[in-house]
Amino acid sequence: MVVVGVVLLVLVAVVFLVLPDMVANKQAVLPLPAEPAEPAVEVSAASQEQLAAARREAQDVLAKLREARQALEEKQVHLWAEEDADAIGELAAKGDVFYGQGAFDQALETYGAALEKAEGLQVRSTILRDEKLAEGNQAIADGDQAGAETVFRLALAIDAANTEASAGLARAQLLPKTLPLLQQARRQILEKNWPQAKDSLEQLLALDKEHGEAQQLLQQASSEIRTAQFNGVMGEGLAALQKGNHADALSRFEQALKINPGSADARASLNQARLAIQARTVARTLAAAVDQESAERWAEAAASYQQVLDKGEGVVDARVGLLRSQARAQLAQGIDVMLADPLRLASDDVFAKASQLLRDAEQISAPGPVLQKQIASLKDALGKARQPVTVQLQSDNKTQVTLLRVGEMGAFASHTLELRPGRYTALGIRPGYRDVRITFEVVAGDSASVEIVCKEPV
């Protein structure tokens, strides 16, 4: 009985002397109470096990409560939830009393209620921090420096490592510089002075790149400037197009599309300028082709017509002109080939082709001076190709002479015959001597003398 009395006196002392000091100190983190004295009444082993388990469970919850309260203190809970923090402290103190009395189940329940409130404040701290961040940003937008600094500081009190709160506080402290620039930009926008407004907003954003209104206004100012530039360039292009300065118009419309790539008007005007340039180019090329035809430069005219058609132009004049120029170019080239080597006319096939060319040329109405000259030259060449020329063959009466395409001449000292203009080959054969082969030309209007003698013994 004496032991029981001593235990009761100790518990009374704890309740009336120690606990009041612990409750008064709201910021202190409570240590675990000492183990209560063993009750004098004997209890069964099973009861002792249950009691120890309850005590351990209460200790575990108390440890979690201490951690939660410490975390709340780091978030400076007294600044934003003082009453709730006090209530948690009171519950913790009440739980300590139960624990000191050995009423572990009641201590566990009380500690649990305090822990639940502490965890609720943890969740609330995150929500409150985000609310204060939003309020701070709005205060900056409203130009309220004091209000912005207050809420951002509270957000930093809750979450000292929060970069958005730190940045927000810095932005709020810049308001004396950024607010005048914003007000200036607003006036300039009302006056539609877009370049100066853009300059003011860029200065502002150089100080506070996160300023939402400045970002929006800068987009508006930039858009208005681009629109003015676009309209100006388009106007210049349309004026140039109307005056027929197609290249200048094309350049302006290309510039307009760089400013506004999605403009259907600029694209349509660009196509119109291109078509105008193309039409002018086609007209010039066709005119050049006509001049080339007049000068009877048929190959050049054909190339000009082909150039027009290569651009995809379905111009009838170009197609007809191409066929005409190609035919005349082939005729002129064929005649020139014949005139370049009249001796080829000695061949019956070549003579027939040249005669056909002459007939084709003579059928052309209103031939130009170049063709007339070609006709006359070809007719003369054909006439001379059939006029025999006297040719004197000289030998030594020992060499057997054969004139290819004419016949065997035998051995002779001198032999005269009439040959048409052309190229001929004479062969000389004599036993004991090397054969000779002589090629000679018979030219119209010019007699010829040829020696065929085998002189080199073998």
Q: Per-residue pLDDT tens for 251-285?
A: 998 999 998 898 898 899 988 888 788 777 777 88
Question: Residues 203, 328: one domain?
Answer: no
Question: Residues 70, 161: one domain?
Answer: yes
Kindly state whether residue 457 falls inside one of the protein's structural domains.
no
Kindly state whether residue 29 falls inside one of the protein's structural domains.
yes
Question: Residues 210, 321: one domain?
Answer: no
Kindly state whether residue 290 falls inside one of the protein's structural domains.
no
DSSP conformation letters of 242-273: HTT-HHHHHHHHHHHHHH-TT-HHHHHHHHHH
Cα(417)–Cα(409) distance, integer angstroms: 10
Domain enclosing residue 393, as ranges: 389-451
Kindly state whether residue 458 falls inside one of the protein's structural domains.
no
DSSP conformation letters of 59-123: HHHHHHHHHHHHHHHHTTGGGT-HHHHHHHHHHHHHHHHHHHHT-HHHHHHHHHHHHHHHHHHHH
Kindly state whether residue 245 falls inside one of the protein's structural domains.
yes
Question: Residues 169, 179: one domain?
Answer: no
Question: Residues 22, 125: one domain?
Answer: yes
- Choosing from 334, 356, 386, the residue where a domain stops is 386
Helices (H) and strands (E) in the chain, counts: 16, 7
The whole-number pLDDT of residue 29 equals 38
CATH label of the domain that carries residue 187? 1.25.40
Q: Output the 3-class SS for 279-328.
A: HHHHHHHHHHHHHHHHCCCHHHHHHHHHHHHHCCCCCHHHHHHHHHHHHH
Question: Residues 169, 180: one domain?
Answer: no
Task: Give the three-class secondary structure for 240.
Answer: helix
∠ CA(207), CA(208), CA(211), 5° rounding?
145
Question: Residues 329, 425: one domain?
Answer: no
**Cα separation of the two ends of the chain:** 166
Kindly state whether residue 252 falls inside one of the protein's structural domains.
yes
Question: Residues 266, 397: one domain?
Answer: no
What are the residue ranges in the chain where pLDDT is below 70? 1-46, 312-315
Question: Residues 339, 437: one domain?
Answer: no
Number of domains in the chain: 4
The whole-number pLDDT of residue 46 equals 65
Question: Residues 166, 218: one domain?
Answer: no
Kindly state whether residue 125 falls inside one of the protein's structural domains.
yes
- Choosing from 248, 279, 310, the residue where a domain stops is 279
The whole-number pLDDT of residue 103 equals 93
Task: Give the three-class secondary structure for 426.
Answer: strand
Cα(148)–Cα(139) distance, integer angstroms: 5
Kindly state whether residue 329 falls inside one of the protein's structural domains.
yes
Cα(391)–Cα(444) distance, integer angstroms: 11
Question: Residues 193, 79: one domain?
Answer: no
Question: Residues 147, 25: one domain?
Answer: yes
Q: Taking a C-beta distance cutoff of 8 angstroms, is the pair 443, 421 a contact? A: yes
Selection from 338, 336, 348 nearest residue 420 by Cα:
348
- Choosing from 173, 194, 216, the residue where a domain stops is 173
